Amino acid sequence: MIRARKLTRHFRVKKETVEAVRGLDLDVEDGELVAFLGPNGAGKSTSLRMLTTLLPPTDGTATVAGADVRTDPAGVRQRIGYVGQGSGAGHYFRVRDELATQGRCYGLSRRASRTRADELLAVFDLEQLATRTVSTLSGGQRRRLDIAIGMVHRPRLLFLDEPSTGLDPQNRAHLAEHIRRLRRDFGTTIFLTTHYLEEADALAERVVVIDRGTVIADDTPERLKATLAGDRITVTVGSAADAGRAAGVAAGVPGAHEVTTDGAAVRIRATGGDTVVPELVLALAAAGVRTRAVDLRRPTLDDVFLTLTGRSLREGA
Protein backbone atom coordinates (compact mmCIF):
# COMPACT_ATOMS: atom_id res chain seq x y z
CA MET A 1 0.00 0.00 0.00
CA ILE A 2 2.94 2.29 0.74
CA ARG A 3 6.44 1.79 -0.59
CA ALA A 4 9.04 4.50 -0.06
CA ARG A 5 12.71 4.29 -0.95
CA LYS A 6 15.34 6.79 0.19
CA LEU A 7 12.65 9.44 0.53
CA THR A 8 14.41 12.67 1.45
CA ARG A 9 13.37 16.24 2.11
CA HIS A 10 15.63 19.20 2.79
CA PHE A 11 14.53 22.74 3.62
CA ARG A 12 16.66 25.84 3.08
CA VAL A 13 16.34 28.11 6.09
CA LYS A 14 18.38 31.28 5.52
CA LYS A 15 21.74 29.80 4.53
CA GLU A 16 21.30 26.57 6.47
CA THR A 17 19.96 23.26 5.12
CA VAL A 18 17.53 21.43 7.43
CA GLU A 19 17.54 17.69 6.67
CA ALA A 20 13.96 17.03 7.81
CA VAL A 21 13.75 13.49 6.34
CA ARG A 22 16.85 11.54 5.44
CA GLY A 23 16.45 8.49 3.20
CA LEU A 24 13.17 7.05 4.51
CA ASP A 25 12.55 3.41 3.51
CA LEU A 26 9.05 2.23 4.33
CA ASP A 27 6.74 -0.63 3.35
CA VAL A 28 3.15 -0.77 4.59
CA GLU A 29 0.97 -3.72 3.54
CA ASP A 30 -2.73 -3.72 2.77
CA GLY A 31 -4.83 -3.59 5.96
CA GLU A 32 -2.03 -2.69 8.39
CA LEU A 33 -2.48 -0.18 11.22
CA VAL A 34 0.91 1.50 11.58
CA ALA A 35 1.96 4.21 14.04
CA PHE A 36 4.76 6.55 13.05
CA LEU A 37 6.27 7.55 16.39
CA GLY A 38 8.92 10.14 17.14
CA PRO A 39 9.64 13.29 19.16
CA ASN A 40 8.80 16.81 17.97
CA GLY A 41 10.79 17.72 14.89
CA ALA A 42 11.70 14.08 14.07
CA GLY A 43 10.31 14.35 10.54
CA LYS A 44 6.89 12.69 10.91
CA SER A 45 4.75 15.43 9.34
CA THR A 46 7.26 16.07 6.55
CA SER A 47 7.23 12.35 5.67
CA LEU A 48 3.45 12.29 5.73
CA ARG A 49 3.22 15.40 3.59
CA MET A 50 5.49 13.80 0.98
CA LEU A 51 3.47 10.56 1.01
CA THR A 52 0.22 12.50 0.59
CA THR A 53 1.71 14.67 -2.23
CA LEU A 54 1.43 17.93 -0.27
CA LEU A 55 5.20 18.37 -0.48
CA PRO A 56 7.55 17.22 -3.26
CA PRO A 57 10.50 15.10 -2.11
CA THR A 58 14.03 16.44 -2.56
CA ASP A 59 15.11 12.91 -3.46
CA GLY A 60 13.89 9.32 -3.42
CA THR A 61 10.72 7.59 -4.60
CA ALA A 62 7.36 6.61 -3.15
CA THR A 63 4.36 4.68 -4.41
CA VAL A 64 1.18 5.20 -2.42
CA ALA A 65 -1.99 3.15 -3.06
CA GLY A 66 -0.49 2.14 -6.41
CA ALA A 67 0.32 5.65 -7.68
CA ASP A 68 3.70 7.41 -7.80
CA VAL A 69 3.83 10.57 -5.65
CA ARG A 70 6.02 12.36 -8.19
CA THR A 71 4.49 11.37 -11.51
CA ASP A 72 0.85 10.79 -10.50
CA PRO A 73 0.02 12.98 -7.48
CA ALA A 74 -3.64 13.26 -8.57
CA GLY A 75 -3.86 9.45 -8.62
CA VAL A 76 -2.52 9.31 -5.04
CA ARG A 77 -4.99 11.95 -3.84
CA GLN A 78 -7.98 10.15 -5.36
CA ARG A 79 -7.14 6.97 -3.54
CA ILE A 80 -6.16 8.16 -0.07
CA GLY A 81 -7.80 9.96 2.81
CA TYR A 82 -5.75 12.51 4.73
CA VAL A 83 -6.62 14.13 8.03
CA GLY A 84 -4.13 16.84 8.92
CA GLN A 85 -3.45 18.45 12.28
CA GLY A 86 -5.90 21.32 11.81
CA SER A 87 -9.63 20.77 11.37
CA GLY A 88 -10.74 20.53 7.75
CA ALA A 89 -14.40 21.23 8.55
CA GLY A 90 -16.06 24.59 7.85
CA HIS A 91 -17.07 26.15 11.17
CA TYR A 92 -20.48 27.50 10.20
CA PHE A 93 -21.87 24.46 8.38
CA ARG A 94 -24.08 21.84 9.94
CA VAL A 95 -22.39 18.48 10.49
CA ARG A 96 -24.48 16.50 7.96
CA ASP A 97 -24.25 19.27 5.34
CA GLU A 98 -20.48 19.39 5.74
CA LEU A 99 -20.20 15.65 5.02
CA ALA A 100 -22.63 15.84 2.10
CA THR A 101 -20.73 18.80 0.58
CA GLN A 102 -17.51 16.81 0.74
CA GLY A 103 -19.27 13.96 -1.06
CA ARG A 104 -20.31 16.38 -3.82
CA CYS A 105 -16.66 17.52 -4.09
CA TYR A 106 -15.73 13.90 -4.78
CA GLY A 107 -18.31 13.73 -7.57
CA LEU A 108 -21.16 11.93 -5.77
CA SER A 109 -24.71 12.80 -6.80
CA ARG A 110 -26.80 14.89 -4.40
CA ARG A 111 -28.64 11.76 -3.26
CA ALA A 112 -25.54 9.56 -2.98
CA SER A 113 -23.72 12.24 -0.98
CA ARG A 114 -26.65 12.45 1.50
CA THR A 115 -26.67 8.65 1.87
CA ARG A 116 -22.91 8.59 2.39
CA ALA A 117 -23.16 11.40 4.96
CA ASP A 118 -25.74 9.37 6.93
CA GLU A 119 -23.55 6.25 6.78
CA LEU A 120 -20.59 8.19 8.15
CA LEU A 121 -22.67 9.84 10.88
CA ALA A 122 -23.55 6.31 12.06
CA VAL A 123 -19.98 4.96 11.80
CA PHE A 124 -18.57 7.85 13.84
CA ASP A 125 -21.41 8.13 16.41
CA LEU A 126 -22.32 11.59 15.18
CA GLU A 127 -26.01 11.00 14.44
CA GLN A 128 -27.20 13.03 17.43
CA LEU A 129 -25.08 15.93 16.22
CA ALA A 130 -26.14 15.87 12.54
CA THR A 131 -27.89 19.26 12.63
CA ARG A 132 -25.43 20.97 14.96
CA THR A 133 -23.11 23.67 13.62
CA VAL A 134 -19.49 22.46 13.39
CA SER A 135 -18.24 25.33 15.59
CA THR A 136 -20.32 24.02 18.53
CA LEU A 137 -18.69 20.54 18.59
CA SER A 138 -16.26 19.48 21.31
CA GLY A 139 -12.63 18.67 20.41
CA GLY A 140 -13.27 14.91 20.33
CA GLN A 141 -16.45 15.28 18.25
CA ARG A 142 -14.68 17.61 15.82
CA ARG A 143 -11.87 15.11 15.40
CA ARG A 144 -14.35 12.33 14.62
CA LEU A 145 -15.98 14.59 12.03
CA ASP A 146 -12.55 15.31 10.50
CA ILE A 147 -11.89 11.59 10.12
CA ALA A 148 -15.39 11.04 8.72
CA ILE A 149 -14.63 13.73 6.11
CA GLY A 150 -11.39 11.92 5.25
CA MET A 151 -13.42 8.73 4.65
CA VAL A 152 -16.15 10.22 2.40
CA HIS A 153 -14.73 8.73 -0.81
CA ARG A 154 -14.06 5.32 0.81
CA PRO A 155 -10.27 5.42 0.56
CA ARG A 156 -8.47 2.14 1.18
CA LEU A 157 -5.62 4.04 2.83
CA LEU A 158 -6.09 6.73 5.49
CA PHE A 159 -3.34 9.03 6.79
CA LEU A 160 -3.91 10.64 10.18
CA ASP A 161 -1.48 13.30 11.37
CA GLU A 162 -1.46 13.42 15.19
CA PRO A 163 -5.16 12.51 15.41
CA SER A 164 -5.44 12.70 19.18
CA THR A 165 -3.28 15.72 20.00
CA GLY A 166 -5.09 18.03 22.40
CA LEU A 167 -7.68 15.43 23.44
CA ASP A 168 -8.08 14.30 27.04
CA PRO A 169 -7.35 10.61 27.78
CA GLN A 170 -11.03 9.60 27.67
CA ASN A 171 -11.61 11.20 24.26
CA ARG A 172 -8.32 9.77 23.05
CA ALA A 173 -9.45 6.24 23.99
CA HIS A 174 -12.82 6.83 22.28
CA LEU A 175 -11.13 8.03 19.10
CA ALA A 176 -8.76 5.05 19.19
CA GLU A 177 -11.78 2.74 19.23
CA HIS A 178 -13.15 4.44 16.11
CA ILE A 179 -9.82 4.11 14.35
CA ARG A 180 -9.67 0.40 15.21
CA ARG A 181 -13.23 -0.01 13.95
CA LEU A 182 -12.34 1.49 10.56
CA ARG A 183 -9.69 -1.16 10.16
CA ARG A 184 -11.86 -3.98 11.47
CA ASP A 185 -15.11 -3.17 9.64
CA PHE A 186 -13.81 -1.71 6.36
CA GLY A 187 -10.28 -3.12 6.10
CA THR A 188 -8.89 0.41 5.80
CA THR A 189 -5.09 0.62 5.93
CA ILE A 190 -4.21 3.27 8.51
CA PHE A 191 -0.95 5.15 8.87
CA LEU A 192 -0.93 7.61 11.75
CA THR A 193 1.65 9.82 13.38
CA THR A 194 1.77 10.29 17.12
CA HIS A 195 4.06 11.27 19.91
CA TYR A 196 1.84 9.58 22.50
CA LEU A 197 3.75 6.46 23.48
CA GLU A 198 0.78 4.78 25.11
CA GLU A 199 -1.35 5.40 22.02
CA ALA A 200 1.20 3.87 19.66
CA ASP A 201 1.55 0.91 22.00
CA ALA A 202 -2.16 0.26 22.48
CA LEU A 203 -3.43 1.05 18.99
CA ALA A 204 -0.89 -0.03 16.43
CA GLU A 205 0.19 -3.52 15.56
CA ARG A 206 3.34 -2.06 14.10
CA VAL A 207 5.38 0.94 15.24
CA VAL A 208 7.89 2.74 13.03
CA VAL A 209 10.14 4.90 15.20
CA ILE A 210 11.70 7.95 13.55
CA ASP A 211 14.36 10.22 15.02
CA ARG A 212 16.19 13.08 13.32
CA GLY A 213 14.74 12.20 9.92
CA THR A 214 15.71 8.51 9.97
CA VAL A 215 13.82 5.33 10.86
CA ILE A 216 15.57 3.80 13.86
CA ALA A 217 13.21 0.88 14.60
CA ASP A 218 10.27 -0.86 12.94
CA ASP A 219 8.44 -3.79 14.55
CA THR A 220 5.47 -4.78 16.69
CA PRO A 221 5.37 -2.90 20.03
CA GLU A 222 5.81 -6.24 21.86
CA ARG A 223 8.92 -7.25 19.92
CA LEU A 224 10.45 -3.75 20.17
CA LYS A 225 10.04 -3.84 23.93
CA ALA A 226 11.27 -7.41 24.33
CA THR A 227 14.34 -7.07 22.10
CA LEU A 228 15.36 -3.46 22.71
CA ALA A 229 14.41 -2.84 26.32
CA GLY A 230 13.59 -6.00 28.32
CA ASP A 231 11.96 -6.24 31.74
CA ARG A 232 13.48 -4.39 34.70
CA ILE A 233 13.71 -6.11 38.07
CA THR A 234 14.72 -4.26 41.21
CA VAL A 235 15.53 -6.37 44.27
CA THR A 236 15.95 -4.62 47.61
CA VAL A 237 18.09 -6.42 50.19
CA GLY A 238 19.21 -5.49 53.73
CA SER A 239 22.43 -3.55 53.03
CA ALA A 240 24.88 -2.43 50.35
CA ALA A 241 27.13 -5.37 51.31
CA ASP A 242 24.23 -7.79 50.77
CA ALA A 243 23.50 -6.06 47.45
CA GLY A 244 27.03 -6.89 46.28
CA ARG A 245 26.49 -10.56 47.09
CA ALA A 246 22.99 -10.51 45.59
CA ALA A 247 24.35 -9.05 42.35
CA GLY A 248 26.80 -11.95 42.06
CA VAL A 249 23.93 -14.43 42.56
CA ALA A 250 21.63 -12.55 40.12
CA ALA A 251 24.26 -12.59 37.38
CA GLY A 252 24.10 -16.40 37.40
CA VAL A 253 20.31 -16.66 36.98
CA PRO A 254 19.30 -17.60 33.39
CA GLY A 255 17.57 -14.67 31.62
CA ALA A 256 19.13 -12.00 33.86
CA HIS A 257 21.62 -9.55 32.36
CA GLU A 258 23.02 -6.08 33.02
CA VAL A 259 23.14 -6.41 36.80
CA THR A 260 24.00 -3.21 38.70
CA THR A 261 23.75 -2.13 42.35
CA ASP A 262 22.59 1.11 43.92
CA GLY A 263 22.89 1.09 47.72
CA ALA A 264 20.77 -1.81 48.98
CA ALA A 265 19.06 -2.20 45.58
CA VAL A 266 20.08 -4.54 42.77
CA ARG A 267 18.83 -3.64 39.30
CA ILE A 268 18.58 -6.32 36.65
CA ARG A 269 17.52 -6.21 33.02
CA ALA A 270 15.82 -9.49 32.15
CA THR A 271 14.27 -11.43 29.33
CA GLY A 272 11.00 -12.98 30.61
CA GLY A 273 11.05 -11.19 33.97
CA ASP A 274 8.06 -13.11 35.35
CA THR A 275 9.99 -16.39 35.18
CA VAL A 276 13.31 -14.84 36.25
CA VAL A 277 11.86 -13.39 39.51
CA PRO A 278 10.98 -16.71 41.24
CA GLU A 279 14.33 -18.25 40.20
CA LEU A 280 16.11 -15.20 41.52
CA VAL A 281 14.32 -15.22 44.88
CA LEU A 282 15.11 -18.94 45.32
CA ALA A 283 18.77 -18.42 44.36
CA LEU A 284 19.10 -15.50 46.81
CA ALA A 285 17.52 -17.55 49.62
CA ALA A 286 19.87 -20.47 48.88
CA ALA A 287 22.82 -18.06 49.09
CA GLY A 288 21.57 -16.77 52.46
CA VAL A 289 20.62 -13.29 51.18
CA ARG A 290 17.31 -12.03 52.58
CA THR A 291 15.11 -10.33 50.00
CA ARG A 292 13.05 -7.40 51.34
CA ALA A 293 11.20 -6.39 48.16
CA VAL A 294 11.06 -7.25 44.46
CA ASP A 295 9.70 -4.94 41.78
CA LEU A 296 9.14 -6.12 38.19
CA ARG A 297 8.54 -3.42 35.59
CA ARG A 298 7.50 -4.15 32.03
CA PRO A 299 9.23 -1.95 29.44
CA THR A 300 7.47 0.89 27.64
CA LEU A 301 8.16 2.26 24.16
CA ASP A 302 9.99 5.08 25.95
CA ASP A 303 12.49 2.51 27.27
CA VAL A 304 12.92 1.37 23.64
CA PHE A 305 13.58 4.94 22.52
CA LEU A 306 15.99 5.46 25.43
CA THR A 307 17.93 2.30 24.50
CA LEU A 308 18.13 3.40 20.85
CA THR A 309 18.99 7.08 21.32
CA GLY A 310 20.05 7.64 24.94
CA ARG A 311 17.22 10.19 25.19
CA SER A 312 13.70 9.97 26.55
CA LEU A 313 10.91 10.43 24.05
CA ARG A 314 8.84 12.04 26.81
CA GLU A 315 11.43 14.78 27.26
CA GLY A 316 11.67 15.26 23.48
CA ALA A 317 7.91 15.51 23.18
Stretch that binds ligand ATP, among 10-18, 66-74, 120-128, 248-256 (CB under 6 A): 10-18
For residue 160, the cross-strand partners are 83, 192
Which residue from 3, 8, 32, 41 is in contact with ligand ATP, where contact means CB under 6 A? 41
Which residue from 5, 17, 18, 227 is in contact with ligand ATP, where contact means CB under 6 A? 18
84 lies in the site for ligand ATP, by CB under 6 A: no
Which residue from 43, 150, 230, 255 is in contact with ligand ATP, where contact means CB under 6 A? 43
15 lies in the site for ligand ATP, by CB under 6 A: no
Q: Which of residues 44-63 bind ligand ATP (CB under 6 A)?
A: 44-46
195 lies in the site for ligand ATP, by CB under 6 A: yes
Shortest distance, position 51 Cβ to ligand ATP, whole Å: 12
120 lies in the site for ligand ATP, by CB under 6 A: no
Separation between Cα atoms, residue 252 and residue 43, nearest integer Å: 43
11 lies in the site for ligand ATP, by CB under 6 A: yes
Separation between Cα atoms, residue 17 and residue 99, nearest integer Å: 41
Distance, first Cα to last Cα, the chain: 29
The number of beta carbons lying within 10 Å of the beta carbon of residue 93 is 15
38 lies in the site for ligand ATP, by CB under 6 A: yes
Stretch that binds ligand ATP, among 33-41, 143-151, 267-275, 285-293 (CB under 6 A): 33-41
Nearer to ligand ATP, 18 or 293 (CB): 18
Nearer to ligand ATP, 41 or 88 (CB): 41
